[in-house]
Amino acid sequence: MEEIWGKFTNSALYADVIKNRLIHTVLLVGEDSFAVEKFSLNLVLTIMCEGEKKPCLNCTACKKVLHNNNVDVCCFPRDSKQMNVKEIEEFEDLVYSAPYEANQHVFVLKNANLIDKNTQNKLLKILEEPPANTYIILQASEEYNILPTIKSRARIVRVPKMDDNEIADVLKETINDNLAITTALSYSDSNCAKALRFATDENFLMLVHIMEDLCKNFNHSSQMLNYASKLYTFASHFDDILEIFLNIVERAIRYLSGSNSQDELAKAIVMQYSVNALIEFNRECLKFEERFKRNANANGLIDSFLFMILEVRHKWPITL
């Protein structure tokens, strides 16, 4: 990933590794898990590299990192999404053991923001006095759920976002479908992890098609049953329904501000909804997100969602 590599080598973090002044704990923060993981990989390679120009990618240590079999690089959690107390205990045992082959240990803890507070407190005790030549990399989509005492002991680095051209290059390495790539880019909000999921998920691409049709053509209660029956198929992914809808709304708002005048979908949407309606859609969707988090009946949410669109449309009609 040359684009992420370039951002890493131009960072102060890279300079600190090269000058041997990296502190024991680094917290990498970014909503795009793909970018965070690649940034983290570059950091691990640079720490472990045995070559002169780091990372050389040719030494034994680099090759083992790239093939995920370097015994002195450990990743947690092992299988689940969230690190638990048992894995913290395993992590502690490994931290205080000597490296097997290299002069240093590197530990990568993914989804650090999902670790519960009790487990974080156990982690904190390890971070307070880690052994020499031990480096701990925490990955997080956001930092708000991480204890302040952990953050105070870490170097916090906000991983820069990838632009759409960089993401498109990644997608082209994965799939050979220009329409899927274009659609994924339109709905991923410059998030490569999302774009990869969207571009390779036929169900998501089908849902996009339904939602675009709905936004352009849904204008009467007689159409409720038709659109509801289509969306029921995706009831378990109601969050995706909301995300696509909000993306379309935001594109329409940007179109009205003149920032994306070439967006044909946005042009069609502003012919259907007033600016006040678009603004209210944003507010209403926040309420639906909360209801979905509370495990409300998904089919019922879809019905309410469709009624909401009609009600807002009627409340804020387009005035000529």
SS3 183: helix
Higher pLDDT, 81 or 224: 224
Of 76-85, 182-191, 202-211, 258-267, which range is least confident? 76-85
Distance, C-alpha 80 to centroid of its chain: 17
The total domain count for the chain is 2
Higher pLDDT, 201 or 83: 201
Say whether both 18 and 153 belong to one domain.
yes
Q: Which two tokens stand for residue 61?
A: 């240590």
Is 94 inside a domain boundary?
A: yes
Q: How far apart are the first and last CA of the chain?
A: 50
- Hey, how many other C-beta atoms are within 10 angstroms of the C-beta on 179? 9
* Phi/psi-derived region of residue 129, left when phi > 0, alpha when psi is between -120 and 50, beta in every other case: beta
**Which burial class, exposed, middle or buried, applies to 310 when counting CB atoms under 10 A from its CB (0-12, 13-18, 19+)?**
middle
Q: Which two tokens stand for residue 279?
A: 């603004």
Say whether both 32 and 136 belong to one domain.
yes
Residues of the chain with pLDDT > 70, as a percent, come to: 98
Strands 25-29 and 155-158 come out as: parallel
Could you tell me which residues come within 8 angstroms of residue 2 by beta carbon, excluding any fewer than 6 positions away? none
CATH number at residue 54: 3.40.50.300
Peptide bond into 317 cis (omega under 30): no
Residue-wise pLDDT for 283-316, tens only, equals 999 999 999 988 778 899 999 999 999 999 999 9
SS3 176: coil
pLDDT over 60 at 278, yes or no = yes
Is 68 inside a domain boundary?
A: yes
pLDDT over 60 at 43, yes or no = yes
- Hey, how many other C-beta atoms are within 10 angstroms of the C-beta on 293? 9
Q: Check residue 111 and give its pLDDT.
A: 94
Alpha carbon distance 317, 320 (integer Å): 10
Q: Tell me which DSSP letter residue 113 carries.
A: G
Question: Chain-wide mean pLDDT for the chain?
Answer: 91
pLDDT over 80 at 3, yes or no = no
Last residue of a domain, one of 158, 184, 218: 158
CB contact burial 33-58 (16+ within 10 A = b; e otherwise): bbbbbbbbbbbbbbbbbeeeebbeee
Residue-wise pLDDT for 242-274, tens only, equals 999 999 999 999 999 888 778 899 999 999 999
Q: Crossing angle for the helix pair 238-256 and 202-217, nearest 10 degrees?
A: 50
Alpha carbon distance 40, 315 (integer Å): 49
Q: What is the pTM of this model?
A: 0.86
Give the structural domain span for 237: 201-315
Could you tell me which residues come within 8 angstroms of residue 296 by beta carbon, excluding any fewer than 6 positions away? none
Alpha carbon distance 26, 156 (integer Å): 6
Say whether both 226 and 299 belong to one domain.
yes
Say whether both 142 and 238 belong to one domain.
no
SS3 76: strand
Is 11 inside a domain boundary?
A: yes
Beta bridge mates, 105: 134
Is 119 inside a domain boundary?
A: yes
Q: Check residue 158 and give its pLDDT.
A: 92
